[in-house]
Amino acid sequence: MTQKTLLIQGGTVVNELGAYPADLWIEDGKVISQAPTGAYASQRADETIDATGKLVLPGLIDPHLHFNSPFMGTITAHGYDNGTAAAAFGGVTTLIDFSTQPKGGSILQNVEQKEEEARGRAYIDWSVSGILLDAEPQTLAEIPQLIAAGLPTYKCFTTYKHSGRLMDDDSFLLLLEATAKHGGMLMVHCENDAIVNYHTEKLIAAGELAPIDHARSRPASAENVAIQRVVDLMREVPAPVYIVHTSTAESAQIIQRARLEGLPIHSETCTHYLILTEEKLKGPNAQLFICSPPLRKQKDVDALWHALGSGAIEVVSSDDAGVLPADNLRIGQGRFDKVPSGLTGIETRLSILYTEGVCKGRITLPQLVAAACSTPARLFGLYPAKGHLNPGADADVVLFDPTQTWTMSASTLHQNTDFCIFEGWPIQGKVETVISRGEYVIRKGELVGRPGRGQRVFRKQ
């Protein structure tokens, strides 16, 4: 239940510019003011939270995940009930799902379907980005309607021709033109379809079907070529573009050069690309580590951390798209080309970024907040309501204890799976309390929020 007034005192508030001791005064679900520690001592709040020794973070935003997504004869592991609960345990207070356009159909109708999926189930706030399968007149006509409906981001693919998802150059230019005209942002999954198909067919013909062969079928060159192609087309029609799940050292360099050239291109990487390498595709449970783009080499991991620290990569998302392990193994049948490609990680992002990033000096606390909170809020039309703790923002607050140590595993997480891609990983720091619009969702490590309290957020770029 929303507290009329809430005081969070004694903690260290973190924003994208710095970290400093401060108290927060919250009323009716909004941050009213910040002040030096103890400044509100003479005022009486309905509830006071002692945040001594804690980091006080803005609620995280996850702009890339797939709930209830049909895929290769099964469905992704998370829906709006278990998915938003697991996200909250990871400090996420706002997420953006995808709604896929039926081939030749209306993307707006699918958004209504997402409303039905979330109704009565979501613990935290949410929104949707459309997945576009074509650039036919109906689709182009719906882009301004999507933007007007508070859904200003939409995604396309440069691969998956076999399943009708490939956006060719002609169509891509039309999407860029519509985006430039109406003010949205085009998200792009970048892998060159010809390169992927060439290698896939050769590997299958040679009987090379192991999980590591999935990585060989989608080499770094496939991603690099596709991103460079997007950049080349953006020179013809400049419009905001967001490259999803950047995974290679070269891709980060291509994107950075394009930004320095003045093109409106943005990019994310994902938690798993910052930690895991393709060696996981050779070890135990190798099939369960298949994702697209695939896990890369250690040099790519190192380069991605550098790019994140320098600002060349702006956002870290989860791309939570895993299926249940039993379905993965049943459908895959020991062949990399049949495996439902995707990993589960909606809860792990903050813990990994803090442990492997902040604690190891790869990024700072403000850079963590920028990558997981403020920058996605700005890029995806959630700012100024989300992504920070300045006066006027929604009271989406995470209390994070930097002193706690624990071991990440399927048994210590709350994701809807018995498999964890970071099984056994030693973690520094833990989410203690999560507040969404002034209401507790997680309180001292326990889920206390109610399903259905999460709202669809109107986004405006």
- What's residue 461's pLDDT? 83
Place of tokens 């992927």: 196
Q: Model confidence at 331, in pLDDT bands (50, 70, 90)?
A: very high
Burial 401-424 (b: 16+ CB within 10 A, else e): eeeeeeebebeebbbbbebbbbee
Q: Model confidence at 3, in pLDDT bands (50, 70, 90)?
A: low
> pLDDT, tens digit, for every residue of 229-238?
999 999 999 9
Q: What is the second-level CATH architecture of the domain 60-379?
A: Alpha-Beta Barrel (3.20)
Q: Model confidence at 1, in pLDDT bands (50, 70, 90)?
A: very low
> pLDDT, tens digit, for every residue of 15-40?
999 999 999 999 999 999 999 999 99
Instruction: Work out the average pLDDT over 99-121.
Output: 88
**Strand 55-58 relative to strand 397-408: parallel, antiparallel, unpaired?**
antiparallel
The domain ranges of the chain are 60-379
Burial class (CB in 10 A: 0-12, 13-18, 19+), 216: middle
Residue 319 in this model has a pLDDT that exceeds 70: yes
Residue 239 in this model has a pLDDT that exceeds 90: yes
Q: Model confidence at 108, in pLDDT bands (50, 70, 90)?
A: confident
Instruction: Work out the average pLDDT over 402-408.
Output: 98
Lowest mean per-residue pLDDT among 64-73, 415-424, 451-460:
64-73
Lowest mean per-residue pLDDT among 67-81, 221-235, 421-435:
67-81
Residue 356 in this model has a pLDDT that exceeds 90: yes
